Amino acid sequence: MELKDIQSSAPENKIPLDKVGIKGFKYPITVLDRKKGFQHTIAEINLYVDLPEKFKGTHMSRFIEVLNEFGREIHIKNIMKLLKNLKKKLSSKSAHIEMYFPYFLEKKAPATGIASLMEYQAFVIASRFQRKKDLIVGVEVPVMTLCPCSKSISKYSAHNQRGKVTIKVRFKKFIWLEELIEIAETSASSPVYSLLKRPDEKFVTEFAYENPKFVEDVVREAARKLLEHPEVTWFSVEAENFESIHAHNAYAFIEKLKT
């Protein structure tokens, strides 16, 4: 019995689409780890291609087939090959992938030195066109900030809060996720940790008090470090504070193309 291919039929509205595909597909990938060589993690993957005006829909099964061709060995070094195969499989002019995944680092508490695993959210966004490739790598890093204004006007202490710094970069050669994490953490009042004993809590509290930062300060400091990084060609930095005494969050953003 021959099954009719509805996707390849002509649509009612003959309008080309920029992106069609699948979203939210969980799949194991390999991530390069500066200390251990690599680590395995699970990514949430979005895959897209363009769709010409003559086709009603795309073939979703083909996206999964291309992923399966690479098995568990999907990583930054072969992501452009994956997109090339996706373009060929779906006869498209462009292909795109977005991968969002947890990345773990062993992190030592600042006073006691007790080690524990810290989770960061990382992502890779890549596109391949007929004559152009694009690759963005980024991380979302939890941090702590202490308000400079609160410190200057208060007789006792100052309000502080957790926040997050999101860094995205384009680069010439290779850049480690660890480098981006370090830039984010050292641009805030203090890093945050998975495990802290009382001596560590004392250290973090006092360290942040001596290092007050607005979200604007955090973004500017991270931007300065990225401007000085020899491999970075473009970046964006955003910081968001989950304010402890306000009914809103504080936010700052910068995007910069290095020339």
Report the C-alpha gap between 211 and 110 in whole angstroms: 15
Helices within the chain (DSSP H only): 60-69, 79-90, 148-153, 177-187, 198-209, 215-228
Q: Note the pTM of the prediction, 2 decimals.
A: 0.92
Look at residue 81 in the predicted model and tell me its pLDDT: 94
Stretch 234-241: mean pLDDT: 98
Q: Rg of the chain over CA atoms, in angstroms?
A: 22
Query: pLDDT value at position 55?
Result: 77
DSSP assignments along 11-45, one per residue: PSS---EEEEEEEEEEEEEEEEETTTEEEEEEEEE
Per-residue pLDDT tens over the stretch 124-142: 999 999 889 999 999 999 9
Tell me, what's the pLDDT at 76? 83
The residues spanned by each domain of the chain are 17-257
Q: What is the DSSP letter of 54?
A: T
Cβ neighbours of 38 (radius 10 Å):
10
Residue type, 216: E
pLDDT recorded at residue 77: 83
Q: Please indicate whether residue 213 or residue 78 has the higher confidence score (pLDDT).
A: 213
Question: In the structure, what pLDDT confidence band is assigned to residue 2 with cuts at 50, 70 and 90?
Answer: confident
- Per-residue model confidence as pLDDT tens digits over 80-120: 999 999 999 998 999 999 999 999 999 999 999 999 999 99
Q: What is the pLDDT of residue 6?
A: 66
Residue, of 202 and 14, whose pLDDT is higher? 202
pLDDT band at residue 249 using 50, 70 and 90 as cut-offs: very high
Q: Is the pLDDT of residue 56 over 80?
A: no
Q: pLDDT (tens digit, 9 = 90+) per residue, 148-166? A: 999 999 999 899 999 999 9
CA atoms of 234 and 243, how far apart (whole Å): 29
Residue 195 has pLDDT above 80, yes or no: yes
Residue 164 pairs in a beta bridge with 142, 240
Distance between CA atoms of 229 and 183, rounded to whole angstroms? 10
- Residues 183-190 have a mean pLDDT of 98
Q: Does domain 17-257 have CATH number 3.10.20.30?
A: no
Per-residue confidence band for 8, with pLDDT thresholds at 50, 70 and 90: low
Average pLDDT, the chain: 93
Q: Tell me the mean pLDDT in the region 244-252.
A: 94
Instruction: Note the pLDDT tens digit of each residue in 31-53.
Output: 989 999 989 999 999 999 999 88
